[in-house]
Structures are given as C-alpha cells and as structure tokens.
Amino acid sequence: MTVKHFEVNFDGLVGPTHNYAGLSFGNVASQSNAKAASSPRDAAKQGLQKMKALSDMGLQQGVFAPHERPDTYALRRLGFKGNDHEVIHAAATQAPELFQAVSSASSMWTANAATVSPSADTSNGKVHFTPANLTNKFHRSLEPVTSGRILQSMFNNPRHFEHHLHLPDNDHFGDEGAANHTRLCSDYGNAGVELFTYGRYAFDSSKPAPQKYPARQTYEACQALARLHGLSDENAVFMQQNPAVIDQGVFHNDVIAVGNQNVLFYHQQAFLNTDAKLREIQNKFGEKELFFIEVKDSEVSVQDAVQTYLFNTQLVATGAGTMAIIAPTECQENDRVASYLADLVSRDTPIRQVHYFDVKQSMRNGGGPACLRLRVALNDQELAAVNPAVMMNDSLFERLNNWVDKHYRDRLAVDDLRDPALLDESRTALDELTQILKLGSVYPFQQD
C-alpha cells in the first residue's frame, strides 16, 4: 500500500474582537492603521473564503479556533479585581493601553501559533509541535498556553503527535513559530531541510542585530526548537535575517521569504551570508533540483515587499511539480509587484499560477495570507488521526459563515472593546464553536 502525503493548512479563524490597536512596534501596517475601525465579521468571512477556495482547489484545509478575549485572566493576574465586567471596566478606565492589548484577536495569525516538524524529519518519527512563546509583544505573549491546548485537541493522538511546552517566556528565547521556519523537501513525505531564521543572538551582543525595530526571534530559540524536535544537523539550517530589513518593517521572515517543496522564493536582501547559506541548503537538500527564486531590488524594493506582502504569499502544490501562489490583492494593486508576478508565472519554475485573495481586514494589522495559516505536512495515517471536525468542507464552511453572522459585530472601534457585552458575546460564540469543531473545553472560561 502506498502512503500518501499532504501539506495541510490550518487557518486561524478571526476572533470576535478583531480590531486595530497599533500594538506591534516594528510592524508598519499595525502602526499605521492604529485606531481605525475594524469589521470582525468581514475579517472572519475573508478568512473563511480563502480556506474554502483552497479546499476547493483540492488542498487539505483545516480551521484553527480563535482565543478568548478580552483576557480577563491576564487582567486579574495584573491586579484588577471584581467580577468579569468590573475587571473590564477597571482596566479599560485605568490602563486603556493594557486593556487594548488583552483584547487583541492576534491568535488569528496561526503562522505564529507554533513550529511544526513533520515525522519524516524527526528522530522518533512523530510530528512535533512547539507553541511559540511570542515574548516580544505583550498582547501575543498571552497566546501560547491556549494555542497549545487547541493544538492538543486537534492533534490528539500520542502515537503520531508529540506536543512540547513553549520555550521559556523570556526574550532570550523569543520564538515566533512557523513565521520564521520554512521546510524544503523533494516531496512532503521525504526528509526535508528545515530553515530556521532568527534576528539576533541573545547571548552574544557582538553579533549583528537590528538598530531600530526589535528582532523577535533569537538564534538560541531556533537551536532549542531543532533539539526538541529531534532534527539532525543534516536536516536543519540556521540563517540570520538581514538586520537592515528588520529595520524596514520585516518583523518576521515570512514577510520577505517563502518556501515550499523545492522552491525558495526570497528577496535579495532577506538574509545575511546568503551565498554560503544557499550552498549549505543545496548540500543538505542533495542532488534533487532546487529552485532558488531571488527577487532583486531592481525588480521589487523591500518597501514594496513590505507594503504588498509579496512574500507573505502561500506557495501551494497543485500537481506533480507545479505550484500556485496565493497572494493578497495588495500585490495586484501595485503595478511593479503585479507585473513581477505575471512574469514569474511565465518562467520555467514550478510556480505556474497566481490567485489573489482579499484579506484586507487582516492585512491592515500586518497579517497576510501566509500569516493566517499553520502548515502541517502529514501522511495519510496522521491525517486520519487529526480531529476531523476541524477540516474544511462545504458544510463546515456554511456552518461557520452562519456562526459568524449570528455572533460577530459588523463594526468595532477601539472604544467598543470596553463594552462588557462583547465579552459575553465572544464567550457565547466560542462555546458554540468548540461544539462545532469538537474541541472540548479549551478555553479558560469553560474551565471555571
């Protein structure tokens, strides 16, 4: 019997408090849209449309549930007292910035939920998951425990799946998950080369580091992940991001590079020591053909890449040796980037098609198509062990659209976050969602 292999995308379902609070220093879109009004309903529906379209393309597509917000547990830990509504009122009045941070729907960017190593790469032949600690931003540092719980309820079979605790909650081990992790392979089922990218060294300040914006991921975190997942030297490569591009708004490597199977698509300025690192990748990849598609400054500037998210695209396999690129409509709206993409698909590389998606609600917070998904390469037995209720199909699509219509607000201004009814609405919605997705009691409010 031949074993089949898949790459499954688990997209974050946007939560009911989706808003623009300007929480991410170093993320240009988050900063420039601060305090604009959002539409949680449109945001969730844009995400569902992308999931449905990829599922209709014959790809395996899953749904990753959002977190409970505002996070009243974090507020209590920080000294706010009373019942939930009193806690919200006190925090929103006395510490509005803190309150906005605990209200963020940022768990939608599931590329930051975890780092995943497929069973073909790991020493014990299991799929390994480590939730990202996201220490660099307070609002995101609230995510790893619940993300870990949701991952355990989706991949709930110790024969196939191994779950690790997130790395120590400290900037020395700052970890942003799959946004800084790319896997190249000749086929999903073959051992691959996992590329870990980092912005700085935590224990060696003599090494290059950005000057203006934070480097969210450290070398030491990358090393720890490779150890935990049981990778060998032969299937891991550690690459430093170019600090100069972090200072231009490339807060995650997936804003400047994306890879799939035998293609690495990246900007000329993405990395340090690029030539040596590409040689190391090629050596570890072996004899098989590997496409390094480098975009030159003269073709697309770093600024255009940051504004359009040309590299925050998904490269998905559409057949043997062919791929499509899933791009945000911002790429279509920029003449230089649109003509680059039109030319790219006519060249002799596996990338043959481009599909544009409107994910503008997410893009305004600096989250493109690739930020919205966590990739998990699985064989057919492993796929059969995934909680089937989270897999996208026509009926789940319809059910989730109805669920969004029933529970989500059409418009949300930052000031609306303090409305205590929003917490009640969100909990009602999430309680129903855990039943739809058969997740069990993954949220703190379900465990009180």
- Which residue ranges make up the annotated binding site for substrate? 21-30, 112, 139-140, 216, 254, 365
In the bound state with ligand SUG, the residue whose beta carbon lies nearer, of 183 and 252, is 252
Token match 């607000």: residue? 409
**22 near ligand SUG, rule: CB under 6 A:** yes
- CA 397, CA 400: separation in Å to the nearest integer? 5
- Least Å distance, CB 256 to ligand SUG, is 10
Q: How many residues bind ligand SUG (CB under 6 A)?
A: 23
In the bound state with ligand SUG, the residue whose beta carbon lies nearer, of 108 and 423, is 108
> Which region among 107-115, 145-153, 162-170, 350-358 touches ligand SUG (by CB under 6 A)?
107-115
Q: Which residues are bridge partners to 333 per DSSP?
A: none
**109 near ligand SUG, rule: CB under 6 A:** yes
- Least Å distance, CB 177 to ligand SUG, is 8
**50 near ligand SUG, rule: CB under 6 A:** no
Identify whether the C-beta of residue 206 lies closer than 8 Å to the C-beta of residue 170: no
Contacts to ligand SUG from residues 358-377, by CB under 6 A: 365-367, 371
Q: How many CB atoms lie within 10 A of CB 168?
A: 13
**112 near ligand SUG, rule: CB under 6 A:** yes
- CA 392, CA 384: separation in Å to the nearest integer? 14
> Which region among 16-24, 286-294, 340-348, 424-432 touches ligand SUG (by CB under 6 A)?
16-24
Question: Is 176 a known active-site residue?
Answer: yes
- Least Å distance, CB 364 to ligand SUG, is 9
**250 near ligand SUG, rule: CB under 6 A:** no
Question: Is 371 a known active-site residue?
Answer: yes
In the bound state with ligand SUG, the residue whose beta carbon lies nearer, of 30 and 218, is 30
Token match 């790893």: residue? 144
**17 near ligand SUG, rule: CB under 6 A:** no
**255 near ligand SUG, rule: CB under 6 A:** yes
- Numbered residues of the known binding site: 21-30, 112, 139-140, 216, 254, 365
Catalytic residue among 181, 252, 267, 407: 252
Q: Which two tokens stand for residue 330?
A: 């911002």
- Least Å distance, CB 143 to ligand SUG, is 10
Task: Report CA 405 to chain centroid distance, whole Å.
Answer: 25
**256 near ligand SUG, rule: CB under 6 A:** no
Q: Is the peptide bond before 70 cis (omega within 30 degrees of 0)?
A: yes
- CA 422, CA 329: separation in Å to the nearest integer? 31
**140 near ligand SUG, rule: CB under 6 A:** yes
**135 near ligand SUG, rule: CB under 6 A:** no
- Least Å distance, CB 314 to ligand SUG, is 12
**147 near ligand SUG, rule: CB under 6 A:** no
- Least Å distance, CB 415 to ligand SUG, is 14
**254 near ligand SUG, rule: CB under 6 A:** yes
> Which region among 222-230, 249-257, 329-337, 382-390 touches ligand SUG (by CB under 6 A)?
249-257
Question: Is 222 a known active-site residue?
Answer: no
In the bound state with ligand SUG, the residue whose beta carbon lies nearer, of 250 and 433, is 250
Of the candidates 424, 389, 384, the one whose C-alpha atom is nearest the C-alpha of residue 65 is 389
**314 near ligand SUG, rule: CB under 6 A:** no
Tell me, residue by residue from 166 to 205, as one string, x for binding to ligand SUG by CB under 6 A and - for no binding.
-------------x--------------------------
Catalytic residue among 7, 143, 176, 382: 176
Catalytic residue annotation: 176, 252, 371
By the criterion CB under 6 A, which residues form the site for ligand SUG? 20-24, 27, 30, 104, 106, 109, 111-112, 137, 140, 179, 251-252, 254-255, 365-367, 371
